[in-house]
């Protein structure tokens, strides 16, 4: 039996997962990261060496749980949070904490890029507008505000690729993750010479960009010793967390779309061409599948909305159950539509469809009769409404949505599954191994190691749909709620602008 290891460097922790050639998950383990630092409103930073510490803990635990020998692992695939600016000096030492995906400090850099290059030209060169979450504006912010730190920078990596560097000594990335930097020619699947020249960056800062199943290097003796494996194991390029997670759910061909609720929320549709939204409201990136692309809409604070409520207002007791189960149980006591309460989930600004780093969240429609359950239900529905914004754009772009598969925390909760079916107005599916990006990274590792000839074949053999939830009687009500929800952002923006004077 061949065993494959997928490693996912997430926001909250690093996950190591071992699967076999039938797609069965043998074992997994997660080591938490330190919470990201937010020195100012909208800022988000993490220490890359903390990711490496978590990787060194998670991999040996997964191997132990699986009861396998280190030599049983045939290949490793990597995935991770996208967009983070990981800056290294000439010796490979981290220069400063990484500015991660949800950091919003770079609006001035985005405005400058758009003014100097032009919104249309940006989309022509990179398939995407300048957004605060992307990597390039973060680099420009460091160059502008921290010149001493910038003068030491010799290499720029994305989060999972720092782990690759520690494991293999190779400076490499994959085309899907590179697509989220605003430095990548997505249509041609290569770094954009035009963007590099326009921003005055040195091309030598950037790693080699490779296709998801390609082998980027092998474990060095030091890397193998650090994680308890054997030197020489091949490490494939892998994919950014959304592309790898989509592979793990079988979202590799046009027509099948995923809706994943993790810290952020993502609607992900595979395409055979780099389909573009002229307004830039959704991202167009390379897929981790060679020769494919994807369209992706992002909600900044999806699962984060529920976590924020839990952290600020408690989870309703301590009976040993998962705190999110207790919260959704409370929500079950409130009716669909939450008796008119609406949640706008803009805790960290918003990407799709508003492209507004300064957007702010709001609970609207509260009365004295409402309970915690109403608020929690409104949060579940508001997150689904925010993802429905992406489905609305996909319809405008004529991207087919023949099946919707759920991932992340939104797939584990029966209530949240039903809410999503009702809001999207379409049946939603779950798959047998809803294991997220680490599972997809493992599949890509298997393709790179020759276990399967290509990603399509791998997904046909290992991805299995296990349940389907159709829309229920609440669908018409939630359709009306969604129309009311769409009125929130313009009102909130007007309030914000008034407060700013």
Active site residues: 241
Question: Which whole-number Å values give the CA distances from 451 to 54, 191, 464, in the listed order?
Answer: 28, 30, 18
Q: Residue 35's CB: how many other CB atoms inside 10 A?
A: 11
Q: Is the dihedral of CA 221, 224, 228, 232 positive or negative?
A: negative
Which SS3 state, helix, strand or coil, does residue 55 take? helix
Q: Where are the alpha helices (DSSP H) in 397-427?
A: 409-412, 414-424
Asked if residues 8 and 435 have their Cβ atoms less than 8 Å apart, the reply is no
Contacts of 36 (CB under 8 A, 6+ apart): 11, 44, 45, 46, 100, 102
Q: Is 90 exposed, middle or buried (0-12, 13-18, 19+ CB in 10 A)?
A: exposed
Which SS3 state, helix, strand or coil, does residue 156 take? strand
Indicate the pairing of strand 428-431 with strand 401-408: parallel
Indicate the pairing of strand 73-80 with strand 239-240: parallel
**Rounded to 5°, angle at Cα 159 from 157 and 162:** 60
Contacts of 440 (CB under 8 A, 6+ apart): 6, 77, 79, 239, 243, 244, 245, 246, 247, 248, 249, 288
Question: Which whole-number Å values give the CA distances from 456 to 303, 452, 475, in the listed order?
Answer: 30, 9, 34
HEC string of 191-227? ECHHHHHHHCCCHHHCCEEECCCCEEEECCHHHHHHH
């Amino acid at each position: 039996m061949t065993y494959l290891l997928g490693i996912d460097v997430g926001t909250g922790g690093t996950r190591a997962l071992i699967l076999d050639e039938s797609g069965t998950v043998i074992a997994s383990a997660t080591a938490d990261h330190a919470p990201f630092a937010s020195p100012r409103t909208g800022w988000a930073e993490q220490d890359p060496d903390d990711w490496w510490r978590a990787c060194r803990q998670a991999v040996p635990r997964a191997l132990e749980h699986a009861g396998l020998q280190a030599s049983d692992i045939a290949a490793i695939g990597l995935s991770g949070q996208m967009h983070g600016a990981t800056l290294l000096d000439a010796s490979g030492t981290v220069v400063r904490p990484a500015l991660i995906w949800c950091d919003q400090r770079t609006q001035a850099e985005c405005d400058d890029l758009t003014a100097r290059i032009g919104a249309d030209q940006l989309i022509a060169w990179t398939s995407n507008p300048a957004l605060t979450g992307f990597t390039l504006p973060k680099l420009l912010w460091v160059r502008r505000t921290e010149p001493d730190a910038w003068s030491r920078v010799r290499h720029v990596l994305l989060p999972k690729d720092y782990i690759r560097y520690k494991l293999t000594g190779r400076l490499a990335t994959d085309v899907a993750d590179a697509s989220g930097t605003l430095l990548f020619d997505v249509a041609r699947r290569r770094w954009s010479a035009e963007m590099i020249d326009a921003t005055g960056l040195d091309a030598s800062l950037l790693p080699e960009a490779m296709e998801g199943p390609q082998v980027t290097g092998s474990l060095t003796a030091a890397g193998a010793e650090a994680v308890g494996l054997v030197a020489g194991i091949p490490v494939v390029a892998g994919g950014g967390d959304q592309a790898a997670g989509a592979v793990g759910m079988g979202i590799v061909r046009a027509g099948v779309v995923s809706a994943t609720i993790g810290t952020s929320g993502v609607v992900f549709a595979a395409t055979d061409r780099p389909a573009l939204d002229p307004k830039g409201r959704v991202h167009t990136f390379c897929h981790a599948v060679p020769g494919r692309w994807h369209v992706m809409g992002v909600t900044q604070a999806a699962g984060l909305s529920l976590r924020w409520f839990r952290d600020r207002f408690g989870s309703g007791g301590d009976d040993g159950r998962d705190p999110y189960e207790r919260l959704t149980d409370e929500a079950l006591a409130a009716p669909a539509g939450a008796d008119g309460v609406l949640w706008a989930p803009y805790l960290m600004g918003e990407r799709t469809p508003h492209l507004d780093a300064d957007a702010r969240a709001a609970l609207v429609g509260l009365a004295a009769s409402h309970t915690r359950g109403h608020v929690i239900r409104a949060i579940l529905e508001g997150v689904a409404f925010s993802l429905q914004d992406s489905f609305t754009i996909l319809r405008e772009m004529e991207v087919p949505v023949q099946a919707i598969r759920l991932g992340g925390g939104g797939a584990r909760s029966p209530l949240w599954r039903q809410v999503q079916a009702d809001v999207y107005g379409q049946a939603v599916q779950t798959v047998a191994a809803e294991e997220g990006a680490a599972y997809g990274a493992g599949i890509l590792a298997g393709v790179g190691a020759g276990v399967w000839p290509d990603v399509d074949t791998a997904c046909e053999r290992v991805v299995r749909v296990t349940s389907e939830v159709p829309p229920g009687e609440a669908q018409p009500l939630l359709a009306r709620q969604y129309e009311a929800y769409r009125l929130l952002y313009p009102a909130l923006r007007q309030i914000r602008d008034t407060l700013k004077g």
